[in-house]
Amino acid sequence: TIGQYLQPTRKHHRVVSFVTPDEFKSYETVAYTKGFLMVSSSPLTRSSHHAGEDFARLRENRAKKLAQLAAE
């Protein structure tokens, strides 16, 4: 999960820069290239927001990968 930090209050660490959607897309590409089976990468991604859907996608991707390896 890769998301953009947003400063909740002035007492918290300030945002130094905002990551563009294209940068998030490149992070996603790198993660998949490194073998990650599931990546959530966008400015407003939160790890728990779509956890159920993400877990289902991860299980599906893992099953595909295992089937691929078994066929080799």
Count the domains in the chain. Answer: 1
Digit-coded pLDDT (tens) for 17-43: 889 999 999 999 999 999 998 888 888
| Within-domain flag for 37 | yes
pLDDT score, position 47? 67
Closest CA to 62 of 72, 27, 47, 70: 70
User: Is residue 22 within 8 Å of 28, Cβ to Cβ?
Assistant: no
User: Is residue 3 within 8 Å of 44, Cβ to Cβ?
Assistant: yes
pTM greater than the 0.75 cutoff: no
Place of tokens 């999960």: 1
| Within-domain flag for 54 | yes
Residue 43 sits at the vertex; the CA angle it makes with 58 and 5, to the nearest 5 degrees, is: 105
Other C-beta atoms closer than 10 Å to the C-beta of 60 total 12
| Within-domain flag for 57 | yes
